[in-house]
Amino acid sequence: MRLFLDTANIKQIREVARMGVLSGVTTNPTLMAKEKGVSYRDRVVEICEAVDGPISAECTSRTVDELVPEAREVAAWHPNVVVKIPIDEVGLEATSKLSAEGIKINMTLVFSANQALLAATAGATYISPFVGRLDDAGHDGMEVVRESVEIFDQYNLPAQVLAASLRHPRHVIEAALAGAPIATLPYAVLMAMLKHPLTDTGIERFLKDSRSYEKESAKEPSGS
């Protein structure tokens, strides 16, 4: 399973990339709005230069005639850019046109396996079911991930399920067990995956014990 970061914050992206666990990044207009003093294009290019993997950048046009040229322009920013498009009639039509040109699409705001199947059929490379937002509305968000993975496997559809809107480390485990090939997570969720209090106390104790060992060996006369 590949892990992506769901952020437009370059500091967080660089930090996680250094740990060697980052395979891609997803952004969206809400995440971008938190970044001040940088254009969307410049930030996306900066991310592409920091991470060698698919970088999703979202398009916002609401007609096919506007969305298709916008997507072409965004795709031309960097070879690793994946164009993110929300699923609806406009999104599907644009996706079928753009995917025929070889442009990679991440179909976003997917809330059902039916939508996932339509997105895959239109030619999207990545399909993003929003698990947390479904959970918030009282549904089982992970069910969409499970069903979509099963459908794509059963019919050998090349689209990849990109589990999104993950809110806690348990979501990541469940997405992995459901067979999602990719999960995109906020920085805080990735750090929560890493941290464990027993690891912290274990490190502290080993450090303390190694210091006392060093002191003992310092007391020993040389040559003994």
* Contact residues: ligand E4P, CB under 6 A: 6, 26, 28, 108, 128, 130, 132-133, 164-165, 184
Q: Where are the beta strands (DSSP E) in the chain?
A: 2-6, 24-26, 55-58, 81-86, 105-110, 126-129, 160-163, 182-185
| CA dist., res. 216 & res. 51, Å (int) | 46
The least distance separating ligand E4P from the CB of residue 19, rounded to whole angstroms, comes to 20
Residues β-bridged to residue 105: 83
Least distance between ligand E4P and beta carbon 44 (Å): 14
| Comparison of 106 and 155: residue with beta carbon closer to ligand E4P | 106
> How many Cβ atoms sit within 10 Å of the Cβ of residue 155?
10
Q: How far is the CB of 128 from ligand E4P (least distance, A)?
A: 5
Residue 210: Cβ within 10 Å count: 10
Q: Is 21 or 203 the residue whose CB approaches ligand E4P more closely?
A: 21
Q: CA torsion angle for 106, 109, 114, 117 (degrees, to 10)? A: 0
Name the catalytic one among 36, 84, 97, 208.
Answer: 84
CA distances from 188 to 12, 20, 36, 89 (A): 10, 17, 20, 34
- Cβ proximity to ligand E4P: between 97 and 133 the closer is 133
DSSP character string of 84-102: EEE-SHHHHHHHHHHHHTT
Nearest CA to 152 out of 160, 143, 141 is that of: 160
Q: Cβ closer to ligand E4P: 9 or 128?
A: 128
Min dist CB 85 to ligand E4P, Å, is 12
- 84 as an active site residue: the answer is yes
Smaller CB distance to ligand E4P: residue 7 or 90?
Answer: 7
Residues 115 and 89 sit within 8 Å (Cβ to Cβ): no
Q: Which residue do the tokens 């506007």 mark?
A: 66
Min dist. Cβ of residue 26 to ligand E4P (A): 4
What residues are annotated to the active site?
A: 84
